[in-house]
A and B are shown apart, each in its own frame.
Chain A
Amino acid sequence: MKEEILRIENVSKEIDGNTYLDNINFQIFKGEIMGLLPLNNHGKSQLIQLISQNISIDFGRIYFDERLVNNYEYSNMRNNKVYLIDKQVKLIESLKVIDNIYVLNHEFDSYVINEKKLKEKTDELLEELSINIQSSQYVSELSLYEKTLVEIVKAITSGVQLIIILEISNFLSIEELINFQKLMKYYTQKGISFLYIANHHEEAFKICDRVCLFENGRVIKVIEKKDFSDDILKPYIITFENREGLKDENESSGNFEFKNFTSENLKGISFSVKAGECITILDINNKGIQDIAEILMGKIQPIEGNINLDHKRIDIIDTHSLLENKIAFVPEEPVDKMLFYDMSYLENLTFLLMDYKFDESIVNKKILKNIKEEYRNIVGGNIEAADLRKLDKKDLYNLVYMRIILLNPKIVFIMQPFSNADMYLRGRIIELINLLKEKGIGVVILAVSISDTLFVSDRLLIMEDGKILNI
């Protein structure tokens, strides 16, 4: 009989009258990869928190390693042997890999640190796992992928039995994801269990032993590996369609050209986009698109290369000059990076207007009033919102994209548009990107995972080692 690492039995949890977890039932066995497909984000963070720590619940029981650790009558608030791996790295950047793996570990009980011995131990371990990282490197010198590997090793050396992997394809490239999943498989053979939370069933089906569908704080279905198929999910998920399909690259010679760009990680890449067209640059080993994003944000300067818009060369580069030249940039998970939570909806919507459309120093109340009335038809009553914190994520994404539409740029670069978005939000983002295209705005999507980008893209460019591949 299989041993259980986690059993959640009839668990419900309410916060301030809202039910976040509603009669949850599922178990994870030792050495198993259990998938979790959240159709929306309601209750997802509460479930992760509940598995990690025995916080109070309103109903049900939780068993960890076959012991009752939490029930509706008493919650001890202790942490379970669970580790969460997500984009937020929980390592100490200013310390070395060995310090993070062994010294900052509650299993480490020596007062004096024998660095030589620890280094040998760490090197041996990393070699066994085929991880090519120097143990004496500082964490700050590692890439995000390498940090993720160190985190998983650290978790296991500290005795963790269950690892929650949260939407990892949002920040690992296809190549990195394959290697990471190999490491997961290796650890399952050692009895470690995983809860693999992913936004796409295609991704979860590849790696998981079972998958549960999660919506509005409820587990609505558990699917066994033998039943994995697109058909079984049809009643539960929305399918998106690309209205036009991918076009041949030769069809377009663009009015926006990114020519021969070279930086530390870009090896002379060139591409072009036409008005109303959407292209996706898929970086399969996550080495180039960060550089494109940083060039666009003015954080780094390219070694060579130029940008032409309508055959006119643009001397960038900082965000200000980009916007002056009608080029906009939407970062990954833009609601926290582009919005001002101390300003009203209307102030956020019109923020770029005074600088880049009307070039006025004094706020023109008449213009604001007209915009307010025009956009009331599109965004409804939200236009009156004084506090953005009360809006949901879908409304905030609307605001981000409406601000861009109002600015009417010629080109928009969007970094990983579907990152951390649930199914319904992804549907809305697809609509918003299509709206940009309808307005005649060229769209360049920068992505490390194919995700839903094909539903909006007219062309797909593959980037490997900083070069665009000819396919």
Chain B
Amino acid sequence: MESNNSSKRFKRIFSKRGMGQVITVSIGLIMLIIVFGFLNPNFFSYRNISNLLRQIAPIILIGVGQSYVLITGNIDLSIGSVVGMSCMISATLMTKGMNPWLAVCISYISSIFIGILNGKLISKAKLPAFIATLGTMTIARGIAQIVNNNYNTDSIGAKAEGFRNFFYYGKTLGLYNTIWIALVMWLVFNFILSRTRTGRHIYAVGSNINAANLSGVNISSTITKAYLVSAVCSATVGLIITATSGMGTMDAGNGYELYAVASSVIGGVSTLGGQGILLGTIVGASIWGVLQNGLQFAGAPVAIRNIVIGIIVIISVLLDIVVRANKNVTKSKSKGKS
């Protein structure tokens, strides 16, 4: 009787949207951690774990943003540039003597503008997401460059100590604030995606845009909301980078859009839309972080790390396509039966 109940519970967990892949990937993550732990005993040291989590936090954030967009069946290539833009705007304003928190607000507003622009270009002007976000990627990078006349900024100074502690150096309850920021934002966005009407609309648009339209879902507003989340997450990561280095660098966030896609896809978010959960994005980002960290410990050069991560991304996407194809075979078989 008890085993019957536990098998039912197990089935229920597995039947939750995207949970199957998350569990599979989590097993992979645990195996990676064990392997790297054996290769280097320092891997499990408090200091390394703590640094590893702080290293993973920004990837989780951009992964969350990209996951929202991917679930709607689109892609956001502007993530890395928005990170760079947020970093440069905040740092430039701080070096000019502006209150750091006001600079933070301005960085968020400008990033949100890019998010809305992405959403409207795709949903209203019907531009392909790839093209629209490629355009805004260049625009945002251009803004990052122009904001301080094509120079990286000087140090943001002692006045910004509070800002730096809040976003990077400070600790709360023994954990770095960066980790707390990622955790809180993840909780909020996970709640929105899994428990609210907006979340359902996001899944609906990615799953069957015509059905969503027929169900009265405001497609434009839903897609824009997804890009808005992506922009907010990217802006936060830009601020974390400013806090980390204490200055603004024009190429901050370079290539982050690919890390974001990697963490989402490895975690089971489908590039075809409609599927995936943010728990998977945490696992995906963790795999990325553990691989980076573990391979670094093992003395692997950057090139090898990139190749390994690239291979994992390809395998994840292939898995997604194979799983979807199998599901469609099941669908056509059930059609044949009726």
Using a CB–CB cutoff of 8 Å, the interface residues on chain A facing chain B are 15-16, 18, 20, 40-46, 297, 318-320, 322-324, 329, 331, 336-344, 347, 351-352, 354-356, 360-363, 386-387, 389-394, 422, 425
Contacts and interface: CB of A to CB of B under 8 A. Distances in A.
Contact of A337 (B17, B210, B217, B331): B210
A355 B196 CA distance: 11
Interface in B172-202: 195-200
Nearest to B20: A386
B338 A394 contact: yes
A422 B338 contact: yes
A361 to B, nearest CB: 5
B215 A343 contact: no
B42 interface: no
B1 interface: no
Given A340-B207, A361-B196, A319 B214 contact: yes
Contact of B197 (A46, A354, A386): A354
A393 B336 CA distance: 9
Contacts of B4: none
Contact of B215 (A16, A319, A344, A422): A319
B72 to A, nearest CB: 12
Contact of A356 (B196, B208, B216): B216
Nearest to B11: A386
Contacts of A43: 336
A387 B214 CA distance: 21
A322 B196 CA distance: 23
Given A297-B214, A319-B216, A342 B197 contact: no
A392 B334 contact: yes
B211 A338 contact: yes
Nearest to A403: B215
Contact of A389 (B203, B204, B275, B330): B330
B203 A323 contact: no
Contact of A360 (B197, B199, B216): B197
A354 B200 contact: yes
A319 B196 CA distance: 21
B15 A386 contact: yes
Contacts of A318: 216
Contacts of B198: 361
A363 B207 contact: no
A347 B275 CA distance: 14
Contacts of B238: none
- The listed residue with most A CB atoms (<10 A of its CB), out of B208, B218, B330, is B208
Contacts of A394: 338
A412 to B, nearest CB: 12
B99 interface: no
A393 B338 contact: yes
A341 B208 contact: yes
Contacts, number: 117
B68 to A, nearest CB: 15
Contact of A320 (B203, B216, B335): B216
Contact of B200 (A20, A337, A363, A425): A363
Contact of A393 (B214, B216, B335): B335
B58 interface: no
B96 interface: no
A90 to B, nearest CB: 19
30 contacts: A18-B336, A20-B336, A41-B336, A42-B337, A45-B335, A297-B213, A320-B216, A329-B214, A337-B211, A337-B214, A338-B215, A339-B211, A340-B203, A340-B211, A341-B331, A342-B203, A342-B207, A343-B17, A343-B200, A343-B203, A343-B204, A344-B15, A351-B204, A351-B215, A355-B197, A361-B197, A363-B196, A387-B327, A392-B335, A393-B338
A57 to B, nearest CB: 16
Contacts of B200: 343, 347, 351, 354, 363
Given A320-B218, A361-B198, A390-B330, 20 more contacts: A44-B336, A45-B335, A297-B213, A318-B216, A342-B206, A342-B207, A343-B17, A344-B15, A354-B197, A354-B200, A355-B216, A362-B195, A363-B200, A386-B16, A389-B327, A389-B328, A389-B334, A392-B335, A392-B337, A393-B338
Nearest to B16: A386
A378 to B, nearest CB: 19
A299 to B, nearest CB: 9
Interface in B236-261: none
B274 interface: yes
A320 B212 CA distance: 10
A391 B334 contact: yes
Nearest to A216: B337
Contacts of A331: 214
Contacts of B210: 337
B333 interface: yes
Interface in B259-280: 274-275
B336 A343 contact: no
A58 to B, nearest CB: 16
Interface in B296-338: 327-328, 330-331, 333-338
B337 A390 contact: no
A329 B214 CA distance: 8
A347 B15 CA distance: 13
A360 to B, nearest CB: 7
Nearest to A351: B215
Sorted nearest first, the 3 A-B pairs with minimum C-beta distance are A393-B338, A342-B274, A386-B15
Contacts of B203: 340, 342-343
A386 B203 CA distance: 15
A392 B215 contact: no
Nearest to A41: B338
Contacts of B206: 342
Nearest to B199: A363
Given A320-B216, A361-B197, A393 B333 contact: no
A394 B337 CA distance: 10
Contacts of B213: 297, 319
Contacts of A392: 334-335, 337-338
A363 B196 CA distance: 5
Given A341-B207, A341-B208, A363-B200, A42 B195 contact: no
A142 B320 CA distance: 38
A115 to B, nearest CB: 33
Contacts of A45: 335-336
A447 to B, nearest CB: 19
A322 B207 contact: no
A18 B211 contact: no
A237 to B, nearest CB: 17
Contacts of A20: 336
A469 B303 CA distance: 75
A134 B165 CA distance: 74
Given A297-B213, A338-B214, A390-B330, A343 B207 contact: yes
